[in-house]
């Protein structure tokens, strides 16, 4: 499972997930969780970025799924369990606030359920 934002730079995460999967049997999930009230398509640049990520996901044989949830961490955990995810790829967090650091919080929750791979910012 590759976790992305609506930024076009997330295509490198999708590529990394596809490279990791390689010839292995399995499905590549590309997920974007948007909080309720976040108008991610109300701005043309964000819409273009999502369209770009959709095309990139398709290029690597994955589907881009956008899910609305105010609890991003719980949503990612639920998807991990529901889809029997063994490996999660996400970008390095830019959150300065430790409480809101998605990477750190996901590491605590995921424990032995899946391997978490954090890709550093470019």
Most confident of 21-25, 45-49, 55-59: 55-59
Cα–Cα distance measured from residue 50 to residue 115, given in angstroms and rounded to the nearest whole number: 26
How confident is the model over 58-117, as pLDDT tens digits? 999 998 898 999 999 999 999 999 999 999 999 887 655 555 688 888 888 888 789 999
Long-range Cβ contacts of 72-76 (<8 Å, 24+ apart): 72/33, 72/35, 72/102, 73/102, 73/105, 73/106, 73/109, 75/33, 76/1, 76/3, 76/31, 76/33, 76/106
Q: Which residue has the higher pLDDT, 40 or 87?
A: 87
Domain that holds residue 31: 2-119
Cα–Cα distance measured from residue 61 to residue 96, given in angstroms and rounded to the nearest whole number: 34
- Give the count of domains, the chain: 1
Q: Which two tokens stand for residue 4?
A: 């992305």
Quick one: average pLDDT of 23-40?
A: 81
pTM of the model: 0.85
Quick one: average pLDDT of 38-58?
A: 74
The CATH number of the domain holding residue 112 is 3.40.50.620
Name the percent of the chain in helix, strand, coil, to the closest 5. 45, 20, 35
């Amino acid at each position: 499972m590759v976790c992305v934002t609506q930024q076009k730079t997330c295509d490198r995460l999708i590529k990394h997930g596809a490279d990791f999967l390689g010839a292995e049997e399995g499905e590549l999930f590309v997920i974007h969780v948007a909080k309720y009230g976040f108008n991610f398509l109300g701005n043309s640049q964000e819409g273009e970025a999502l369209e770009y990520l959709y095309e990139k996901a398709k290029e690597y044989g994955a589907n881009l799924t956008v899910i609305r949830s105010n609890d991003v961490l719980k949503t990612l955990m639920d998807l991990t369990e529901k889809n029997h995810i063994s490996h999660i790829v996400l970008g390095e967090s830019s959150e300065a606030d430790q409480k809101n650091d998605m990477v750190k919080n996901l590491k605590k929750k995921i424990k032995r359920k899946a391997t978490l791979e954090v890709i550093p910012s470019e």
